[in-house]
Amino acid sequence: MDLIPEMYRRPPAFFVIGMAGAGKTTFVQRLAAEIGLETTSYAIRPRISADVIPKRPAVINLDPAVMNVPYTPVVDIRDSFSIGDLMKRHGWGPNGAIMTCLNLFATRIDELDTLLRRRAERSSCFLFDTPGQVEVFTWSASGEIIANFFGAAYPTALLYVLDSERCANPVTFVASMMYCCSIIQRMSLPLLIVFNKDDLVGPDLREGGHELSWRAPWVYMEDETVLCEAFDALRIANVNEIAYSESFYDSLRDVLQEFYSLINYIHVSSFTGENFHSLTERLRAMCVRYVEEAPERIRRAEQAKVKARTQVRNDPLGLFSDRPTTTDSSDDPDAIE
């Protein structure tokens, strides 16, 4: 089966990630509702048109620690694994139990793929609601396995949800952008920054007013002088001990300017629904671009695999080249004579 034509016919997969408290679950609920109203397919060339079978988004919950979700998932990790049972049985903390649930779930990814393919003709897209602790998904082997599995077979994108009110603090904003860079580097998937809760940011700030201390975070990305003014205001107020680390943040600010011009971003409100129509249009465009770039992406991946196999064959110990393979006992004070 030729993978590229199949990608044109499959619904895309959107992974919603972000820091705890950013409003990911509410965002997933609103996005699912907005997409559901369209009843159209997000597949570029669906096998069966929406006129024959109306399409609805299929939501997959990957957070085993959530108590309740405001949507009805087609797949729920809590149905397979209980975080409470794992904590009691093994004496683990919540993070260890969440990691274990996700690891065990990743071993059944073939079953998940089979189930979702059966629903493909009825689904406009697949929405994945990930754990609240963003590092559990983005920096774990299981999260990487799940994301790369779908990225190899479906049009796939990451939606990095941020709290607009928190990111109005320039220090929080820069830290969030640095973490965004690490996610892109690790996942190697298209990413869209979603500034959520924009209704909590005052209208004068959303339009780029003249307040120096707090600005809408997307204004920081559009106008470097605004971010500089915000940092200057923090220095004057001595907030977050900015004076102690001002050179560090100044350097990051300058380095990230080029990054802002390359990354896609949008601001929305999951409470009011503001800008969700623009968001769905942006997602459609990302799907088309993903499939168009798939051949080149697959070619680079194959080249990397060939290079890695060749390196291992020619130098089996090359992986450990930065570590000493022998120890000089004369330099070891604890060595046995």
How do the pLDDT tens digits run along the chain, 337 residues long? 456 678 888 999 999 999 989 999 999 999 999 999 887 778 877 777 765 677 899 999 999 999 999 999 999 999 999 999 999 999 999 989 999 999 999 999 999 999 999 998 889 999 999 998 888 899 888 999 999 999 988 999 999 999 999 998 888 898 899 999 999 988 889 999 999 999 888 655 555 544 434 578 998 888 888 888 888 777 777 655 555 566 777 777 777 877 888 889 999 999 999 999 999 999 999 999 998 888 787 777 677 767 767 776 777 655 445 444 444 444 444 444 4
Asked if 124 and 34 count as a contact pair (C-beta separation under 8 A), the reply is no
- Domain boundaries in the chain? 3-166+188-198+264-295
Backbone angles phi, psi at 23, to 5 degrees: 90, 30
**Cα dihedral 140, 191, 219, 133 in deg (nearest 10):** -20
- For residues 270 and 24, what is the distance between their CA atoms, to the nearest angstrom? 9
pTM: 0.84
The rounded distance, in Å, linking the Cα atoms of 127 and 60 is 6
Q: What are phi and psi of 192, to 5 degrees?
A: -120, 120
Task: List alpha helices for the chain, DSSP H.
Answer: 3-9, 24-38, 83-90, 94-106, 109-118, 134-138, 141-153, 164-167, 170-187, 203-206, 217-222, 224-237, 246-262, 276-314
Type of residue at 28 = V
181 burial (CB, 10 Å; 0-12 / 13-18 / 19+) is: middle
In one letter, which amino acid is 41? S
Cβ–Cβ under 8 Å, residues 14 and 159 = yes
Q: Which candidate, 222, 190, 189, places its Cα nearest to that of 286?
A: 190
Looking at domain 3-166+188-198+264-295, its CATH superfamily turns out to be: P-loop containing nucleotide triphosphate hydrolases (3.40.50.300)
